[in-house]
Chains A and B, each alone.
Chain A
Amino acid sequence: MLTIKKVPTVVSNYQENSEKGFEGCGRNCLGKCCLPVSKLPLYAFKEDNSNLIGNSVEKSSEEQPQICFLHNLLLGQWEDRMSRGLFRYDVTACDTKIIPGRYGFIAQLNKGRHLKKRPTEFRVDKVLQDFDETKFNFTKVGQEEVLFRFEKSNDHKRRFFPTAPPVTADSDSSSVVAINVSPIEYGHVLLIPQVLNCLPQKIDHGSFLLALHFAIEAADPFFRVGYNSLGAFATINHLHFQAYFLAASFPVEKAPTRRIMTMKGREDKGVIIWELLNYPVRGLVFEGGNTIQDLSDSVASSCIFLQNNNIPFNVLIADCGRRIFLFPQCYAEKQARGEAIQELLDTQVNPAVWEISGHIVLKRQEDFDDASETCAWRILAEVSLSNKRFNEVKAHILEAAGFQTETEEKNRDHEGESIHDQPSPKAVAHLPQDCMVFH
């Protein structure tokens, strides 16, 4: 069993009480005792099976001229919790800077996020682990940390219920949005699908679709949703996604990409996959899809493959749900095997989804002062799968996601390859060799 010692991030004010054992209820928690009769507001989204962007004539529902409802609700509630003193520190008072360089990595000096505490042992060699009721989980969170419930609407209409939603709502499928009491950015929240079902940290099609809808409903390209699997720096084994709002582009969003050519299978779902180029962590980008569900299922299937094959990974949902990044990683295992570079271990950066995307939280003043793009690159490069390993994994991911590709090793060295790079993308040309050859 491979483990590392880590100071876990405290995401709830109730987390540190957990060792004492749960004392039964008398307070508003998120357990079966309290949640079904709670008066939490409910935001019910319309499950839209159309294409994400819609046709060009009707204006798309995202990116409306005015900040939308969910955005207001989330940030307004968040600001309210701030004034009630529920956060462990004021994240807006943390020193932050954009590191000069090609990608503009974002560095934050945040000492409060990891308070001095005895480190706990985390098992990092199993991506799938059973839910353990004795450990901290989100049913123990107080309702004051919850902003609202976020669920699919019963009647195909987008609705908001400020209090006491109708009794017909199925409490077993209650999903909530809660604050992260150790935020790394303004508006940092946790999305907890079906909190009462106590699901372990593991992707399934339904919960991924929920997360995707969350990004879509926020209708803001600067509001991203992220996921860390166990072994990729998730610290709580209770299914949750994270999200926050940062009004700048993440470095990973700026990275050039190359389209992976795929065969039009019998059931073409319209999903397009790209590979990241020239970025320290190797990864894939999923876009398109004939419907939202098609895109969601494609990514979820890939994640399920990784989970089942014990490959830790992180997911970033960006661009209002239109671009989804998938990063298989290996850092925790490296650490456990003693293969991680000491210099990097000293920074204590835990490369989870936000770090990989380019938003790096640092704990030491000197790391923050000396932060450079080269530094950030070095840290993140340690996280990535090797080229060889990534290619193996990639082939399987594509298969799991429902694509067929030709083995591309042969074509890789052709000059006809295209790279979508600023400012002038060349034509894409991965063609099966028995049809065409470029000289």
Chain B
Amino acid sequence: MESQLARIEQSFNARYSLRVREALDELHHNFTITDPAFPDHPIVFASRGFLKMSGFLREEVVGNNGRIFQGPKTNRKTVMEIREAIREERAVRVHILNYRKDGTPFWMLFQMSPVFSKEDGSGVHFIGVHVPLRRNKKITNDGADAAWNEIAFRPCRREVCSDSLVELTRFLALDTGTSCKGVEIEESCEASELEKHRAATAINNILSVLARCSESTGRMVCGKRCSLPAAGLINSSLNISLGRIKQSFVLIDPHLPNMPVVYASDAFLKLTGYDRHEVLGRDWHFLNGVDTDSSVLHQIHESILVEQPCTVCILNYRKDKSTFWNRLHMSPVRNATGKIAYFVGVQMEEKCKSQDRRRLSPEIRQLGAVGAVKGNNLWHRWTFLYTQMVPVYERYLEKSSVADMVVGIMDYFDPGSYARLTTRLNPFNSLPGTSSDSVRLSEVDQGLH
């Protein structure tokens, strides 16, 4: 089993070709690229400029989440704003206090932008551009430095008469021992128009490089979402959450005839020896083999039909044909309206009965995975629905129709609803190349983002 780093590198190359790193290194911007498909949304590329600015080595950065640059004085709400933007797969621009490797903090304009697959509209990467801001720069709305010249000083114990920003800062940082009591000033910065412009340009340049490189592999990307993902597709934000669950489990879609696997955790792949692409879309039987007890299979099937959880012990086969006893727990995962969205199946290899008294029992560990899936599922659908689908549809339908539609598709991932939804979008059904499971949207529409 390859290490995570090796898989990160492989995945990046597979989409953009081997030339991409060279091409990205030619850009002088400070930026990182992250991949939400991997557990904990790690950085998969860091530019030389970024490494120099932050003081970290490449191997200390790639494979880690961006939170390693945050510290005690980083504004929590800003962190939340970034997290929300990632969940909603949209761009964001914030001022954030980051920390270098040596622990020194610095203000930064951070602009993040998603990269979408042209083929199916899913979010595949995020580009993060970092523009360091000049320290303690306080600028009013019109962006004029000259604002400081307008500050009048009244006499104080320590007389300061200066139009220099640096001296002002020093004065403010003076000890509280003076009669002019020390006031805690939050150092914060606002970026100038120039700095904002620089960030935007950087994003565009990086996107161009990625788009160009992806053409050669055929797995093209673009900066805007140009098609809507098929129903049942796990969006990247749910992916990130599910990726945090370390037990072996799969999600199956019980509405489709062969009840395919729509998600498989890393631990599942490790347990069974399969690669992800060999598992997704396959019917849920695929772990069974000649010696698997068919009455147990029947029991599972029954439970799914009556929408009840069940726990069974079943003989399963790995990719290399070796067998193992699988203590399988299946449980329904519901939608906003209470209808079943998926079934989650958590696997536990029977021989793994832990002798360590201090660990959770296998039963509770399994149920923990179920709980985590249930807890996450619902909200990601809503986020996806409201932040991605609705704004897109609003461009093309009247407000009232959108409202109707939203009420009607509360259970968005129900294939029936989705089909009804897509047939309403008449302008698009007539576009050439419209497939039944994704809706192609005009690329000249400026309003998408």
Of the four ranges (under 10, 10 to 19, 20 to 34, 35 or more), the interface on chain A belongs to 35 or more
Q: Is the CB of A78 within 8 A of B371?
A: yes
Q: Annotate A65-109 by CB proximity to B: 1 below 8 A, 0 otherwise.
A: 111010111111111100100000010111111101000100000
| A439 to B151 Cα, complex, angstroms | 6
Residues B54-104 near A (CB distance < 8 A): 65, 67-77, 80-81, 83-84, 92-95, 99, 101, 103
Known contacts A57-B101, A79-B367, A162-B361; A428 and B186 CB within 8 A of each other: yes
Whether A73 contacts B151 in the complex (CB less than 8 A), given A60-B67, A97-B336, A100-B406, comes out as no
Return chain B residues, CB-CB under 8 Å to A262. 184
B61–chain A nearest beta-carbon distance, Å:
13
Q: Is the CB of B188 within 8 A of A428?
A: yes
Alpha-carbon distance between A166 and B183 when the two chains are bound, in angstroms: 50
Binds A, one of B271-279, B288-296, B373-381: B373-381
Assess whether A1 is interfacial by the CB under 8 Å rule. no
- Do A427 and B189 have beta carbons less than 8 Å apart? yes
Q: Which of B92, B336, B386 contacts A423 (CB 8 A)?
A: B92
CB pair B245 A67 closer than 8 Å: yes
Q: How far is B369's CA from A161's CA once the two chains are assembled, in angstroms?
A: 20
| CB nearest to A185 among chain B residues | B375
- Let me know if B184 and A186 touch, CB within 8 A: no
Q: How far is the CB of A209 from the nearest CB of chain B, in Å?
A: 19
List the one stretch of A17-25, A242-250, A304-312 in contact with chain B: A242-250
- Asked if B21 is an interface residue, CB under 8 A from chain A, the answer is no
Q: Are A80 and B364 in contact (CB under 8 A)?
A: yes
Residue in A249, A254, A319, A434 whose CB lies within 8 Å of B180: A434
Which of the candidate stretches B12-20, B152-160, B228-236, B420-428 sits at the interface with the other chain?
B152-160
Once the chains bind, are B99 and A56 in contact (CB under 8 Å)?
A: yes
B370 at interface, CB cutoff 8 A: yes
**CB atoms of A264 and B176 under 8 A apart:** yes
Name the contact of B367 in the complex, choosing from A75, A254, A430, A437 (C-beta under 8 A).
A75
Q: How far is the CB of B293 from chain A (nearest CB, A)?
A: 23
Does A167 reach chain B (CB closer than 8 Å)? Answer: no
Residue B318 is within 8 A (CB to CB) of chain A in the complex: no
CB pair A97–B410 under 8 Å, yes or no, is: yes
A261 touches B386 (CB 8 A): no
Is A420's beta carbon under 8 Å from chain B?
A: yes
A27 within 8 A of B: no
With A65-B244, A424-B190, A436-B154 as contacts: A161 and B364 at CB distance below 8 Å:
no
Q: Are B183 and A425 in contact (CB under 8 A)?
A: no
Given A100-B386, A263-B184, A434-B156, residue A79 in contact with residue B190 (CB < 8 A): no
List, in ascending order, chain B residues with CB within 8 A of A54's CB: 72
Asked if B219 is at the interface (CB within 8 A of a chain A CB), the reply is: no
Q: Which of B92, B186, B334, B372 touches A259 (beta carbons < 8 Å)?
A: B186
Asked whether A257 is an interface residue with its Cβ less than 8 Å from the other chain, the reply is yes
**A163 shortest CB reach to chain B, Å:** 8
Counting CB contacts under 8 A, is A198 at the interface?
no
B25 interface hit (Cβ, 8 Å): no
Q: Does B113 belong to the interface (CB within 8 Å)?
A: no
B154 touches A186 (CB 8 A): no
Q: How far is the CA of A138 from the CA of B272 in the complex (A)?
A: 46
- Taking a contact as CB atoms under 8 Å apart, the answer to whether B103 and A56 are in contact is yes
- Does B80 contact A93, Cβ atoms closer than 8 Å? no
Q: Which residues of B contact A248 (CB under 8 A)?
A: 379, 382-383
A423 touches B93 (CB 8 A): yes
A162 vs B185: C-alpha distance when bound (angstroms):
49
Cα(A431)–Cα(B76), bound, Å: 24
A247 to B364, Cβ gap below 8 A?
A: no
Q: CA of A164 to CA of B8 in the docked complex: distance in angstroms?
A: 44
Number of A-B contacts (CB under 8 A): 221
Whether A72 and B364, one on each chain, are in contact in the complex, defined by CB atoms closer than 8 angstroms, is yes
- Closest A residue to B101 by beta carbon equals A57
Q: A187 in the interface, Cβ–Cβ < 8 Å?
A: yes
Query: Contact at B375–A247, with CB atoms within 8 Å?
Result: yes
**Cα–Cα distance between A261 and B185 once the two chains are bound (Å):** 8
Measured between beta carbons, the chain B residues less than 8 angstroms from A424 are 93, 95, 190-191
Report which residue of B68, B183, B383 has the largest number of chain A beta carbons within 10 angstroms of its beta carbon: B183
Are A437 and B181 neighbours in the complex by a CB distance under 8 Å?
no
Whether B334 contacts A55 by the Cβ 8 Å rule is no
Determine if A247 and B379 form an interchain contact, defined as CB atoms under 8 angstroms apart. yes
Distance to closest chain A CB from B33 (angstroms): 18
Q: Interface majority SS on A: helix, strand, loop or mixed?
A: loop
List chain A residues, Cβ under 8 A from B337. Answer: 95
Contact A67 B246 (CB under 8 A): yes
Chain B nearest CB, measured from A260 CB (Å): 11
Instruction: Name the CB-closest residue of B to A428.
Output: B186
Q: Could you give, for residues 45-67 of chain A, a 1 whenever the CB lies within 8 Å of some chain B CB and a 0 otherwise?
A: 00000011111110110010111
CB distance B386 to A98 under 8 Å?
Answer: yes
Does B151 lie within 8 Å of A80, measured CB to CB?
A: no
Contacts of B101 in A (CB 8 A): 56-57
- In the complex, the chain A residue whose C-beta lies closest to that of B180 is A435
Chain B 346-363 residues near chain A, CB threshold 8 A: 357-361, 363
> A283 to chain B: closest CB distance in Å?
14
| Pairwise interchain contact B367-A80, C-beta atoms closer than 8 A | yes
Contact among B67, B244, B334, B363 for A66, CB-based, below 8 A:
B244
Question: What is the distance, in angstroms, from A294's C-beta to the closest C-beta of chain B?
Answer: 12
CB of B131 to closest CB in A, whole Å: 13
A93/B390 in contact, CB under 8 A: no
* Complex partner residue of B40 from A65, A104, A247, A261, CB under 8 angstroms: A65
- Nearest CB in chain B to that of A160: its residue: B358
**A59 contacts B68, C-beta separation under 8 Å:** yes
Q: Which residue of A56, A93, A248 has the most chain B CB atoms within 10 A of its CB atom?
A: A56
- Name the CB-closest residue of A to B356: A162
Most chain A beta carbons < 10 A, residue from B92, B93, B368: B368
Q: Are A63 and B67 in contact (CB under 8 A)?
A: yes
Q: Is B39 an interface residue (CB 8 A)?
A: yes
Chain B residues whose C-beta falls within 8 Å of the C-beta of A78 in the assembled complex:
371
Q: Which of A63, A94, A261, A262 lies at the interface centre, i.e. has the most chain B CB atoms within 10 A of its CB?
A: A63
Q: How far is the CA of A104 from the CA of B372 in the complex (A)?
A: 23
A408 beta carbon closer than 8 Å to chain B = no
Q: Taking A56-B103, A94-B338, A248-B383 as contacts, is the C-beta distance between A221 and B390 under 8 angstroms? A: no
In the complex, the chain A residue whose C-beta lies closest to that of B4 is A65
Asked if B138 lies at the interface with its beta carbon under 8 angstroms from chain A, I say yes
Judge whether A402 is part of the interface by a CB distance below 8 angstroms.
no
Determine whether the beta carbon of B76 is less than 8 Å from that of A98: no
Contacts of A59 in B (CB 8 A): 68
B311 nearest in chain A by CB position: A83
Q: Check B34 for interface membership: any CB of A closer than 8 A.
A: no
Q: Please measure, in the bound complex, the distance between the C-alpha atom of A257 and the C-alpha atom of B78, giving whole angstroms.
A: 11
List the A side residues contacting B156 at CB < 8 Å. 434-435
Q: Are A263 and B181 in contact (CB under 8 A)?
A: yes
Cβ of B316: which chain A residues have Cβ within 8 Å of it?
A: none
Question: In this assembly, does A378 line the interface, its C-beta being within 8 Å of a C-beta of chain B?
Answer: no
Q: With a CB–CB cut-off of 8 A, which chain A residues contact B74? A: 53
Per the bound structure, the CA–CA distance linking A69 and B356 in Å amounts to 15
A76 in contact with B188 (CB, 8 Å): no
Cα–Cα, bound, A79→B70 (Å): 35
Q: A32 to chain B: which residues have CB within 8 Å?
A: none
Q: Return the contact of A323 from the options B76, B154, B371 (Cβ within 8 A).
A: B76
B365 contacts partner chain A, Cβ-Cβ < 8 Å:
yes
A367 partner residues in chain B, CB cutoff 8 A: none
CB of B241 within 8 Å of the partner chain: yes
Give me 29 A-to-B residue pairs in the complex whose CB atoms sit less than 8 angstroms apart, sorted by A's number. Answer: A55-B103, A57-B101, A60-B67, A65-B39, A72-B369, A75-B370, A76-B360, A79-B331, A79-B370, A90-B338, A92-B333, A95-B338, A96-B336, A98-B383, A247-B375, A249-B80, A253-B77, A259-B186, A264-B183, A287-B76, A319-B80, A422-B94, A423-B93, A424-B95, A424-B190, A429-B138, A430-B183, A435-B180, A439-B152
10 extra interchain contacts, Cβ-Cβ under 8 A, other than A75-B370, A92-B374, A428-B186? A56-B103, A73-B360, A75-B375, A83-B309, A83-B367, A95-B410, A254-B80, A261-B183, A432-B180, A435-B156
Q: Give 4 nearest A-B pairs by CB, closest first.
A: A75-B371, A76-B368, A72-B368, A65-B40
